[in-house]
Amino acid sequence: MIPNIPFENFFSYSPMAYDMVAHVLTLGYAVMLAALFYFILTMKSVAPKYRISSVLSVVVMVSAFLLLYAQAQNWDYAFVYDEGLNQYVRADGASTFTNGYRYLNWLIDVPMLLFQILFVINITGDKFASTRNQFFFSGAMMIITGYIGQYYEVSNAMAFYVWGAISTLFFFHVLYLMKKILDEGKIGMAPGAAKLIGTIWTLFLVSWMLYPGAYLMPAITANLPDGSGVGILPLLDGETAVVARSITYTVADVSSKVIYGILLTVAAQIRSKEEANYDYDTLDTVS
């Protein structure tokens, strides 16, 4: 029987493919650490009521840094170089490579990223609590159901697609809520900040869609020689799919956590200056 382990474990890798994954994973955690400093150092550049957004970015950076570091180590330990084959192959006795940690990390980061926007847009007290609760619920359910589904990406196509579809329903709910609060929250905002909200929505949509794209990577990959796998369209070979998946994850992580956080900081700076009379050049209230 095929074990329920991620498809990365079923292939061997050329040194180039192996290194590309290692490099991309390293880039991922290096960016999180660098951005951590950005969010700490710019915290006071916005009026006090917006600072919680930076605090939430700090929480996201720390958890993502730790996870991505562990993920890179996991890749290093799972495979060894075989000189005869000139390939990296599964290391005897090593633990399996797993993306499961990512999902658990998202369980922290997704609610935080969704919560964060509520501090930068205009939203009334009642709506704040109800949107926050719905964000937390649907965001967490999206991840938990996807976490279950990813176990079956080689062993059971039915389970893989059904859990993925359930997760997608929660994802649509999150997208719907986000679009609604952004459209409403823009009303009455200073023009510069309102324009940024439009950019934030585009970034949000594109970067969050990359995660289901990475989930579906085994669907566009040739099945294993014994026929197991969940492939529908054999576009990629295993090695290419694994490299593509790690690049997709890193682009998604940097966009949805770091660039998103920076755009929110900039929107808060504009709002601080124009509405709260808080000038980030002097870090003081202008009278």
Neighbours of 130 (CB within 10 A): 12
Which x/- pattern, by CB under 6 A, does the window 210-229 give for ligand RET? -xx--x--------------
- Largest separation between any pair of C-alpha atoms in the chain: 74
**Residue from 10, 79, 88, 106 binding ligand RET (CB under 6 A):** 106
Residues written for the chain = 287
Please, what is the minimum distance in Å from the beta carbon of residue 63 to ligand RET?
8
For residue 218 the two structure tokens come to: 């085994």
88 near ligand RET (CB under 6 A)? no
| Burial degree of 283 (CB within 10 A; 0-12, 13-18, 19+) | exposed
Cβ-contact 6, 229 below 8 angstroms: no
- In the complex, the smallest distance separating the C-beta of residue 249 from ligand RET, rounded to whole angstroms, is 9
Binder among 9, 98, 168, 223 for ligand RET (CB under 6 A): 168
Rounded CA separation 50/275 (Å): 12
Residue 168 beta carbon to ligand RET: minimum distance, rounded to whole angstroms? 4
250 is a contact residue toward ligand RET (CB under 6 A): no
Residue nearest to ligand RET (CB): 146
How far is Cα 242 from Cα 218, in angstroms, rounded to an integer?
A: 9
Decide if residue 109 touches ligand RET (CB under 6 A). yes
Integer angstrom CA distances of residue 27 from 30, 250, 266 = 5, 8, 24
Q: Is 242 exposed, middle or buried (0-12, 13-18, 19+ CB in 10 A)?
A: buried
Q: If binding is defined by CB under 6 A, does position 143 make contact with ligand RET?
A: yes
185 binds ligand RET (CB under 6 A): no
Decide: is 110 part of the binding site for ligand RET (CB under 6 A).
yes
CA pseudo-torsion sign 69, 74, 75, 79? positive
276 contacts: CB under 8 Å, gap ≥ 6: 47, 49, 285
If binding is defined by CB under 6 A, does position 157 make contact with ligand RET? no
* 65/208 with CB nearer ligand RET: 208
> Exactly one of 50, 65, 79, 171 binds ligand RET (CB under 6 A); which one?
171
Pairing status of strand 284-285 against strand 278-279: antiparallel
Residue from the set 11, 39, 160, 208 that interacts with ligand RET by CB under 6 A: 208
Q: Is 127 helix (H, G, I), strand (E, B) or coil?
A: helix
Q: Which stretch binds ligand RET (CB under 6 A): 88-96, 163-171, 178-186, 276-284?
A: 163-171
> What residue ranges bind ligand RET (CB under 6 A)?
106, 109-110, 113, 142-143, 146, 149, 164, 167-168, 171, 208, 211-212, 215, 256-257
